[in-house]
Structure 1
Amino acid sequence: MRILLIEDENPAAKRLLTLLKPHFPEAEFLGNIDSVKSSVHWLETNSEPDLIFCDIQLADGLSFEIFQKRPIQVPIIFTTAFDQYAIKAFQVNAVDYLLKPIDPEDLARAVEKFKKNQLRKELDVQLLEKLLKPQTKVYKSRFLVRFGEKIQSIPIEEVAFFFSEERVTFLQTQAGKKYVLDQTLEQTESQVDPLHFFRINRKYLVSHPSIEEVFTYSNSRLKVKLVNCEDADILISREKVSDFKSWLDQ
């Protein structure tokens, strides 16, 4: 961590440094800088520090001029012997405003406020990065099915298609075996990889290997014949034809 000190009185700067070191034992303290002109030059020629402690009344003017000439986003804790600048200080990215002579307890509170603000920012950044990071969805690799009084686990590789009939969802394997699923077809659709399964209509959710033949049909629709399926009228609506062809062609 890098902390910049801007203070035109050496005794005040030394006392501030002594008070700060216990709070930031691993920090690099930069400065001391004693004027508006030299502060602007320093900020223009160095990378921004993590925190600035800044006296308001400097040798050549008020320190607010620094941040008018060189706008920054660095947190600032102002120090001064006068309190008439408090409102203006908080208009310049101030974390806190300390009156001289600086009370160690007041300084401790200001430092704690700064650290809490930094932690909040870090958490916000981490959350933003997490939200922006592409999330890899994990799809089901097996399905539990009912077979009479038994429960069986079917690997997804063995599934030919899912279908709904009289409000009951079924799983049918490549071998033609049919099992009941305790969930809706909509729930099932969200659990399988869309690269391998496609919802061709309200009734069927099919895999690539389950498609035996595809025929053109009236009104720009398609007709599909599935492996080991007795349903001879499985149609794909005109609205889904383009997506279905893209899925087949990937």
Structure 2
Amino acid sequence: MKAVIIEDEMLAAKQIVELLARYRQPVEVVAAIGSIEQAKIILPTIPRADIYLLDIRLSDGTIFDLAEEFLVKGPVIFITAYDSYMVRCFEFLCIDYLLKPVRAEKLYKSLDKLSWLTPASETNDFSTVIAQLKLHLESMQKRQYTLLVNDRDSILPVGADNIAYFESRYGQIKCTQFDGRSFFLTASSLDQLTGSVDTSQFYRVNRNRLLNRRAIKGLRYFSKEKWQVIVFPDAREPVFISRMKLSAFKNWLAGPAIQ
């Protein structure tokens, strides 16, 4: 697999190179580019890459300047500190949108999605690829990566990945982070929240609880009608899921967390 990196932060580019070196398939970085102007010079001179890993805001412009000149001619993974550019992903053949600092498992799952392209390209059935990518991008636009919480007299942004679970309490939404700290969200309801977070990462186990996959430590039989979900950090009150929902929950828990 041949990769091109466009990233103007040296440490971030170095991290991406190191992560690619540990991927299960060999990845050759054919170019590491640090600016839009460099990209305009270098990209036309090198063969098409299998994957392009792109930051969005660079020191001399945004990556979308390259879209206008059709210089990026393959699948793209955005790796950026900004979550406000998802709609413009359609200007590229985007297969994922990762927020910094990127974690290895998220990057590797994004790279695994390249397997979608191989069978279709061999049979020239590009309509299948486009349909899959369109559905994926539409679901990405609905994800809420950053949430606003009330902290005394302030409103603070909190990354959704940092939240272990949400609970509806007295008409408000309380979230508990993995470090044990709790806040109340500005969101109006758990239904609204459930529709906006990444459903591969969060699961609504009952009317009052929405759990992060990483917070779930196991299941324990409680009665004929329900099971207890063991979570970390420990919840003040036990978390239960009904026997009727148990099968679907276990299937979700055993499946991949797509990011």
TM-score range, shorter chain: 0.3 to 0.5
Instruction: Give the TM-score, by structure 1 length.
Output: 0.46
The higher relative CO (CA closer than 8 Å, separation ≥ 6) is in 2
